[in-house]
Amino acid sequence: MSKVQEICQAVESGKAKLVVELVEGALAEGVNPMEILNDGMVGAMTNIGEKFRRNEIFVPEMLVAARAMKKGLEILKPHIGEENRVSIGKAVIGTVEGDLHDIGKNLVVMMVEGAGFEVIDLGVDATPAKFVEVVKADPEVKIVGLSALLTTTMPAMKRIIDALAEAGVRDQVKVLVGGAPVTDSYAKEIGADGYSEDAAGAADLAKSFVA
């Protein structure tokens, strides 16, 4: 079994300590960090999601896998997007109100930071009022990034866009949306400026908006 496959298996079974060791080992052997991320860790979460859908595992198993992935990400972070250290603008990014999934959002934060933005990370369950507060307080914020993983929390994205408009700051920012259930057509329907299916695409889009 390859190192990346071992990482995938360790994340799936929620073995955080082992994930840390394996990621450190893979990096030391010169394995590409993006391969570790996409084939090892993200692949593991996809498998976990499928098992959950088939009722083969339950929320606690999803939680331990998520924790193991986060530990691995801490090791990987300094190796991803290191080349850009000069700020090209500010972005505020969060998982929308009612939604507690933050692994994808954390990846978006990492990639957008790697693309050269200074990121204000609102974490999970971020309300429209919180986004408005940050954008109003700081005219340097040019990008608003919204992540949703549940079909039930997708409408919160529209509420945030509406709240920005009501506060008179909608034109000051570009709104990017994403997350597993979100689509390009949904993004257009709610008046977002951009949609990306993955974190690297979100960073590219953000960059294109300030170019």
Q: How far is the CB of 112 from ligand B1M (least distance, A)?
A: 8
- Looking only at the bridges linking them, the beta strands covering 117-121 and 141-147 are unpaired
Q: How far is the CB of 154 from ligand B1M (least distance, A)?
A: 8
Is residue 101 involved in binding ligand B1M (CB under 6 A)?
yes
Is residue 108 involved in binding ligand B1M (CB under 6 A)?
yes
Annotate each residue in 32-51 with x if it binds ligand B1M (CB under 6 A) or - if it does not, as one string: ----------x--xx-xx--
Residue of 68, 80, 164, 176 interacting with ligand B1M (CB under 6 A): 176
Q: How far is the CB of 45 from ligand B1M (least distance, A)?
A: 3
Is residue 181 involved in binding ligand B1M (CB under 6 A)?
yes
Q: Which residues contact 209 (CB under 8 A, 6 or more apart)?
A: 142, 143, 174, 193, 194
Is residue 179 involved in binding ligand B1M (CB under 6 A)?
yes
Is residue 146 involved in binding ligand B1M (CB under 6 A)?
yes
The pair of three-digit structure tokens given for residue 4, joined into one six-digit string: 């990346």
DSSP secondary structure letter of residue 126: B
Binding site for ligand B1M (CB under 6 A): 42, 45-46, 48-49, 52-53, 59, 62-63, 66, 98-105, 107-108, 145-147, 149-152, 176-181, 196, 198-199, 202
